[in-house]
Amino acid sequence: MMEWTIAGLFGVSVLLLIISLTKTARATKAQNKGIDLVHVEVMKEINDLQESIRNIELDIEVVMNEAGVELSPKEKVFMREILDLYKRNYSIESIAERKQVSAEEIKELLAPYLRSKDERRSISNAG
């Protein structure tokens, strides 16, 4: 009788093990499917961002060619950095100090951006 009980318990434990493995495999499949969907969405967003960046780069190139502006890669980086600092509300003096150039040179480089900002202010104050 004892042998039958042990054999029955052993059989039940094997059955429970098989059920557990099956449920785990199903859960893993579902989880992997979810991960795959997220991965596809992220890759799609990355591709969209890359395309947007390419379009912006081409737009900038067209605008620069139309305006007749020719800057070396080093000059483009310098302008981008000082414009970024200016847009983040750094003073012209602090930008000049950071970039180790005169404040007058920074004012001269930022002149088109200073003018457009002042024009927007006067238009918004007039309204």
Query: What pLDDT is stored for residue 127 in this prediction?
Result: 53
Tokens of 4: 């039958």
CA 44/CA 53 separation, integer angstroms: 14
Q: What's the alpha-carbon Rg for the chain, to the nearest Å? A: 33
Q: What is the per-residue pLDDT across 54-101, written as a single tens digit (0 to 9) for each?
A: 999 888 888 877 777 787 888 888 988 999 999 999 999 999 999 999
pLDDT band at residue 119, thresholds of 50, 70 and 90?
low
- Percentage of the chain modeled with pLDDT above 70: 90
Helix locations, 1-127, DSSP H: 2-67, 73-87, 92-99, 103-126
